[in-house]
Amino acid sequence: MITTQNSKMNLLGLNRAAMQNFFTELGEKSYRAEQALKWIHFHGVNDIHAMTNFSKTLREKISSIAEIRPPEIAFESTAPDGTHKWVIKLSDGNCVETVYIPEKTRGTLCVSSQVGCILNCDFCSTGKQGFSRNLESAEIIGQVWIAVRSLSENNGMHDHAVTNVVMMGMGEPLLNFDNVVNSMNIMLDDFCYGLSKRRVTLSTAGLVPAMNQLREISDVALAVSLHAPNDELRNVLVPINKKYPLKELMQTCKEYFKDQPRRYVTMEYVMLAGINDQPEHAKQLIALLKDVPAKVNLIPFNPFPNTIYRRSDQDTIDHFRNMLMAAHINCITRKTRGQEIDAACGQLVGQVKDRTRRIERLQKKSARATTEKI
């Protein structure tokens, strides 16, 4: 345990094993960890002195070296369809975004893992903002903590309004592997949020080595940002494909749930007009997924400023879906939610202190293009 005069350990980011170690080092019984986890995550307290089954002496001892410090809510808004977005301000001034999508039988929380994203997928607004840093565990699980507490306090919902979590917000989760896995373990812990392994989903652009590593240590659901049925197109839309091409990625997906025959990898496929939505693309996708236990989510493209892409029309999307279903591929079209507040898939931007200078480069490129036209 390392503390300094001006900093305290943030208990919010500790999983059960780390919390047990914390109390053991204090000379306390390990069961105190379960009590603390329940206070923090189930009851949503951020005051150590509110843990009333701890003695006053123990609370003071903990308070002298530790705290419960969630991120700050900088802004929040609700769309007409009930989708709610929080802009979460971090201690260094960066901001990330978290989105809650209510449905009749469940409530899904979309959580960010990085400030910005280093992968720079061509159709994604987040990627165009550049990249600053990985989120710490407390900043990731803090988004869940904020959402559960906010929904309970403001809308009268019970503590489990969040039934599903998807690591599909800002960033590539597998590039922040340890912090993301630790946070998901807290989500799954019965003393915290008690979510099922099938109700926590990690979405990746296809980092094959990290996918294999994840398979060995975590049993959460997996989604892959596919978006193209061939390498030539995917190299443009999802540049990481140049490093981990489709043949390698599909082999990993084929084996991912090989010991769990009833589980599938979700393939996310954004529908871009005239780019990846034609019948020949559907045929290529059918061939690509022939031996892969997969289901496909078709995602209508959500526009953002200065994008060159357009959303496929509904007839095109329907025809594409029908071709996949005729080939016995489980396929649905994801309903667009929260577009009015820029909370839809691919629209999250936050506030990024971009250390990649990507925004600056894009602005210069746009200025040159404008000058050439003149």
* Cα 120 to the center of its chain, rounded Å: 16
| 91 pLDDT more than 80 | yes
| 276 pLDDT more than 60 | yes
Question: What's residue 1's pLDDT?
Answer: 40
Lowest mean pLDDT across 15-24, 124-133, 239-248, 258-267: 124-133
Average pLDDT over residues 226-253: 97
Spatial distance between the Cα atoms of 176 and 235, rounded to a whole number of angstroms: 22
Q: Which residues are catalytic?
A: 97, 345
Yes or no: say if 323 and 103 are a contact pair by the CB < 8 Å rule. Answer: no
Average pLDDT over residues 315-340: 89
User: For residue range 154-191, what is the model confidence (pLDDT) as tens digits?
Assistant: 655 444 589 999 999 999 999 999 999 999 999 999 99
Name the fold adopted by 9-67: DNA polymerase; domain 1 (1.10.150)
Yes or no: say if 127 and 121 are a contact pair by the CB < 8 Å rule. Answer: yes
Average pLDDT over residues 113-131: 84
| 358 pLDDT more than 90 | no
In CATH, the number for domain 72-361 is: 3.20.20.70
Average pLDDT, the chain: 89
| 130 pLDDT more than 90 | no
| 350 pLDDT more than 90 | no
Question: What's residue 372's pLDDT?
Answer: 46
| 259 pLDDT more than 70 | yes
User: pLDDT band at residue 364, thresholds of 50, 70 and 90?
Assistant: low
Domain boundaries defined on the chain: 9-67, 72-361
Phi-psi region of 277 (alpha: psi -120 to 50; beta: other; left: phi over 0): alpha
Spatial distance between the Cα atoms of 158 and 152, rounded to a whole number of angstroms: 6
Average pLDDT over residues 302-316: 90
**Element at 369 (helix H, strand E):** helix 358-373
Tokens 């209510």 correspond to what residue? 102
